[in-house]
Amino acid sequence: MKRILITGGAGFVGSHLSERLLNEGNEVICLDNYFTGSKKNIEHLMDHHYFELVRHDVTQPFMIEVDEIYNMACPASPVHYQYNPIKTIKTSVMGAINMLGLAKRVKAKILQASTSEVYGDPAVHPQPESYWGNVNPIGLRSCYDEGKRCAETLFMDYHLQNEVDVKIIRIFNTYGPNMNPNDGRVVSNFIVQALKGEDITMFGDGSQTRSFQYVDDLVEGTIRMMNSRNGFTGPVNIGNPVEFTMMELASKVIELTHSTSKIIHLPLPQDDPLQRKPVIDLAKKELNGWEPKIHLEEGLVKTIGYFDNLLKENQ
């Protein structure tokens, strides 16, 4: 049994990770300030003997004896991370410093949830880990992109200078149950709009692409990365390489929800990447053949079921 700290544990990804690590027989301490996460995501874990919940902000130091740290705390949707950009970059940078300091002190292994956003609006397609990215340092997305880039730098520097055992994953667009319905990300927006019969808000002409990964595939890749061979730090891409345009996604959601919603076009936000797709050769090689198993349609059906129940509960 390991004692594991998950920052951002009450969020979308953190809640799935908490459940899986508890089910595998570990002790899980979930730390969250509830900015975008919610107790509802983890309420089914509350009675578990080996689960603990701590309200804390990662921009402040935190001391605890643990074996492993998954650093997931950070708002992930553009709407939320742009709400208070200074707080967003502090969460990534000071959160990384505080958690790395803790890892150094208690000799814990530590994994950073980085992002495909470190590639910015990529000039190389698809994106291998060796690509350095094309990021605007002073735009609306910079608080998130540059915060995550700086966190990667800190992780590698603590590794090289202080021999902290670090692991970095670059997560590509992920979706599934426990996403915040007001989160503003495309999958949750389109599903909620389709279920309510509201207009589907397509930003731009909808030809921009993303590659969508179901959350269970991400959790599997994340845990494999934490358990990867000694000295393997990454960064490693964790994403689904099957690429879709936003128009294709909207059509699929309308079809699966049998919705009468129609698509309306709104302006494309500043610095919105035109395309994104991971190269996952490194993950396959280093993480025991890891690759996504859940196809978009299967994952969408599960996610639609989740939002359908949520909307009925809130009626």
Instruction: Give me the sign of the Cα torsion angle 222, 15, 63, 67.
Output: negative
- Residue 171 contact partner, candidates ligand NAD, ligand UDP, none, CB within 5 to 8 A by sort of partner: ligand NAD
Q: Which residues ranging from 87 to 146 are in contact with ligand UDP (CB under 6 A)?
A: none
In the block, tokens 């610095």 appear at: 271
Catalytically annotated residue among 81, 119, 144, 158: 144
10 is a contact residue toward ligand NAD (CB under 6 A): yes
- Residue 10 contact partner, candidates ligand NAD, ligand UDP, none, CB within 5 to 8 A by sort of partner: ligand NAD
Rule CB under 6 A: choose which of 4, 8, 51, 259 binds ligand NAD.
8
b/e code 38-58 from CB counts within 10 Å (16+ = b)? eeebbeebeeeeebbbeebbb
Other beta carbons within 10 angstroms of residue 90's beta carbon come to 16
3-state SS assignment for residue 305: helix
- Residue 210 contact partner, candidates ligand NAD, ligand UDP, none, CB within 5 to 8 A by sort of partner: ligand UDP
- The one-letter code for the residue type at 140 is L
Distance CA 221, CA 228 (A): 10
The answer for residues whose C-beta is within 8 angstroms of residue 279's C-beta and 6 or more apart is 126, 127, 128, 129, 237, 241
Work out whether strand 243-245 and strand 209-211 pair parallel, antiparallel, or are unpaired. Answer: antiparallel
Tell me, what DSSP letter sits at residue 88?
H
Nearer to ligand UDP, 208 or 259 (CB): 208
Instruction: Please report, in angstroms and rounded to a whole number, the separation of the first and last CA atoms in the chain.
Output: 42
Cis bond before residue 126 (omega within 30° of 0) = yes
Nearer to ligand UDP, 98 or 174 (CB): 174
Q: How far is the CB of 236 from ligand UDP (least distance, A)?
A: 19
Distance CA 70, CA 158 (A): 16
185 is a contact residue toward ligand UDP (CB under 6 A): yes
Q: How far is the CB of 86 from ligand NAD (least distance, A)?
A: 12
Closest CA to 204 of 279, 129, 247, 268: 268
Q: How far is the CB of 117 from ligand UDP (least distance, A)?
A: 6
Nearer to ligand UDP, 32 or 121 (CB): 121
Residue 70 is among the residues annotated as catalytic for this protein: no
- Residue 253 contact partner, candidates ligand NAD, ligand UDP, none, CB within 5 to 8 A by sort of partner: none
Nearer to ligand NAD, 84 or 251 (CB): 84
Nearer to ligand UDP, 54 or 247 (CB): 247
147 is a contact residue toward ligand NAD (CB under 6 A): no
Rule CB under 6 A: choose which of 45, 53, 111, 113 binds ligand NAD.
113
The answer for residues whose C-beta is within 8 angstroms of residue 43's C-beta and 6 or more apart is none
Q: Which residues ranging from 164 to 223 are in contact with ligand NAD (CB under 6 A)?
A: 171, 173-174, 180
Which residues are annotated as catalytic?
Answer: 144
The residues that touch ligand UDP, with contacts defined as CB under 6 A, are: 77-78, 173, 185-186, 189, 201-203, 208, 210, 246, 268-269, 272
